[in-house]
Amino acid sequence: MRIGVLTSGGDAPGMNGCVRSVVKGAVGQGHTAIGIRRGYEGLLAGDASELSLDAVDGLSRYGGTRLGSARCKAMMTPAGLQRALDRIGEMALDALIVIGGNGSLTGAHALAPHTPARIVGVPASIDNDVGHSALAIGVDTAVNTIVDAADRISDTATAHHRVFVIEVMGRHCGFLAMRSGVAADADAILVPERKLTREQVIERCVAVLRASFRAGRHKERVLIVKAEGVEVPTAELVAELRGVVDAEMTGVDVRETVLGHIVRGGAPSALDRLIAARLGLAAVDAACRGLTDVMVGWEPPRGAGEPTRDPSVRTVRLAEVLVETERMLSADSELARARLALLDMADGLLAL
């Protein structure tokens, strides 16, 4: 078989390890691995070449993606889709493994019914917003990066008696903020899934500040972790809090740090390398077993999909993945509710 592999959308730490594992799995079983550069952009341009075992040797420890990535708008048009299908034919691919997030898996699902090539998705996005995978490749590293940054900020916040609002990536999903906020001893965690109004967000933060700096307390820093998907812009929130602090709390200052793309880069954690390696192998296996229009999911909640020979990996129909993703993002799924319930419990640790 000729097995194509591409990385698409926002890069995620662990993508390189996943490509390595796809190549190892493919070549190890006597197949040819074809690396497609810059995601679907490269597919449309036919920018691809064979990947040898040596080309991917020792690749797992690097962040980003050596194959390159892109957000390809053309794939959302009928002409782009047709071009992609033509290229798959011209390259004589028997399978295409798409490593990426939401948008990339939507592209994979659009291709699958129109090509004899087997299309297999692998969830990779720091946002952890892909349905039917407890973790996507890159999430664990991103959480560790945020916790590391929050710890550093806590040092300086404590020294100067400051309130810090730290904004973290995650697009419409609050998972990164939830997980890292709890691990970093945050005093408040703001996520879009809670669907608070602007006034409620401000009220909540003000209550945290008043509780933290009331007479008799000796609290030295306040940390608010805010997901970028929360609609109130961070600068506006900070301006509101500064007004309250200036009026009511002497010797306290409010600052903001937007971590931005720092959260997306860096060497993958051991867990991300492991997940990437195992999902890559499972993706090759799925293609070899003739499966198409599926994703390999890491420990899908409630055991969705079909088992593979890896006990932590299951194959789930891409159609189901995309439906579950939508529900998760509108905080309408069991999983989203379970995540929020955990956050409610974690509130017991926050702001006391």
Active-site annotation, residues = 127
**Is residue 317 within a helix (H) or strand (E), and if so which, with residue range?**
strand 313-317
Check binding of 264 to ligand F6P (CB under 6 A). Answer: yes
Nearest distance from C-beta of residue 28 to ligand F6P, angstroms: 31
Q: Which two tokens stand for residue 144?
A: 């560790």
Q: Which of 4, 10, 35, 123 forms a contact with ligand F6P (CB under 6 A)?
A: 10
Backbone conformation region of residue 38, classed left if phi is above 0, alpha if psi is from -120 to 50, else beta: left
Q: How far is the CB of 8 from ligand F6P (least distance, A)?
A: 11
Left, alpha or beta for 11 (phi > 0: left; psi -120 to 50: alpha)?
beta
Identified binder of ligand F6P from the candidate list 125, 128, 141, 269, rule CB under 6 A: 125
Q: Tokens 């812009």 — which residue?
A: 233
Specify the DSSP class assigned to residue 269.
P
The answer to whether residue 41 forms part of the interface with ligand F6P (CB under 6 A) is: no
Q: Hey, which bits of 111-260 come out as E strands?
A: 118-123, 162-168, 188-190, 222-227, 253-258
Taking the least distance from each CB to ligand F6P, the nearer of 71 and 161 is 71
Asked if residue 101 binds ligand F6P (CB under 6 A), the reply is yes
Candidate segments 81-89, 120-128, 144-152, 306-314, binder of ligand F6P by CB under 6 A: 120-128
Question: Least distance from C-beta 174 to ligand F6P, angstroms?
Answer: 11
Q: Parallel, antiparallel, or unpaired for β 32-36 and 188-190?
A: unpaired
**Measured from the CB atom, is 126 or 328 closer to ligand F6P?**
126
Q: What's the closest the beta carbon of residue 39 comes to ligand F6P, in angstroms?
A: 12
CA–CA gap between residue 245 and residue 67 (Å, rounded): 48
133 binds ligand F6P (CB under 6 A): no
What count of other Cβ atoms lies within 10 Å of the Cβ of residue 182?
20
Question: What is the x/- site pattern for ligand F6P, positions 210-249, by CB under 6 A?
Answer: ------------------x---------------------
Which CB, 39 or 300, lies closer to ligand F6P? 39
Q: Does 169 bind ligand F6P (CB under 6 A)?
A: yes
Rounded distance between C-alpha atoms, residue 42 and residue 55, angstroms: 18
In the structure encoding, which two tokens stand for residue 313, read together?
A: 């990996």
Binding residues for ligand F6P (CB under 6 A): 10, 71, 101, 125-127, 169-171, 228, 264
